[in-house]
Amino acid sequence: MPPIAALALGYLAGSIPFAYLAGRLLKGIDLRTVGSGNLGATNVYRTLGAPAAIVVLLLDALKGALPVLLLPSLVTQLRPGVQSLQLLTLGIGVTAILGHAKPIFLLWKGGGKGVATTAGVFAALAPTALAIVLGLFAFILWRTRIVSVASIGAALGLPWAVLMTAGPLSALLPVSIALALFVLWTHRANLARIRAGTEPRLGAPGRASPAAAARAKERR
């Protein structure tokens, strides 16, 4: 297949809305109108419970890992060279993350914040860096019990982990910086709630965000 087809397949894989499907299958609800309105594992946990959240988390990670592991080997129309293959692999990972955030199967309405899918991409491309970041995530979550704070902290730590493990010349470094900024952007509403002191802690009952409530009203 040509490189553009691999990139498109990466995006389509990332667009599979596992959280949305879990909500429909388990409770007949649209998770975009419940809780935070986000199609991510945290909202699944608060709405559907821990087992469903674990499954969604793993599936969201796999839709980042599998495309970068499988698709590059299927590309035949690629300029020879390790660098070209590496850039294509990174591009597939990025398109998978974009698909998770803006899924075509939901007409680009809703989506997750990209944390689990980014973790899946780096599990395939830089597992040592990911291990460092997961440790950071766990520590921040233990101290704060706020998933969004841990996610933001892990995202900011990702470029440093890549720098320490892959070096300053790695093509992963600029990609990790861009993805860290992307995760910050997807968490902009969380940042506002953190500053206001209203961001829910893990284990505390969540309530619908104003955006989710508005979307629910529109669907009635």
Q: What is the token pair recorded at 114?
A: 């990209």
Q: What is the pTM of this model?
A: 0.84
Phi, psi of 34 (to 5 degrees): -125, 145
Confidence of residue 143 (pLDDT cuts 50, 70, 90): very high
Per-residue pLDDT at 18: 95
In whole angstroms, what is the distance from residue 46 CA to residue 51 CA? 11
- Please state the rounded mean pLDDT for residues 43-57: 93
Reply yes or no on whether the pLDDT at 84 is more than 90. no
In whole angstroms, what is the distance from residue 10 CA to residue 89 CA? 10
Confidence of residue 80 (pLDDT cuts 50, 70, 90): low
According to DSSP H, which parts of the chain are helical?
Answer: 3-14, 18-27, 41-48, 50-70, 82-101, 115-125, 127-144, 147-166, 172-186, 188-196, 210-219
The structural domain count of the chain equals 1
Kindly list the distances between the CA atom of residue 116 and the CA atoms of 27, 39, 156, 197, in Å, as whole numbers in the listed order. Answer: 23, 11, 15, 25
Tally Cβ neighbours within 10 Å of residue 220.
5
In whole angstroms, what is the distance from residue 199 CA to residue 179 CA? 23
Q: Which domain holds residue 103?
A: 3-219
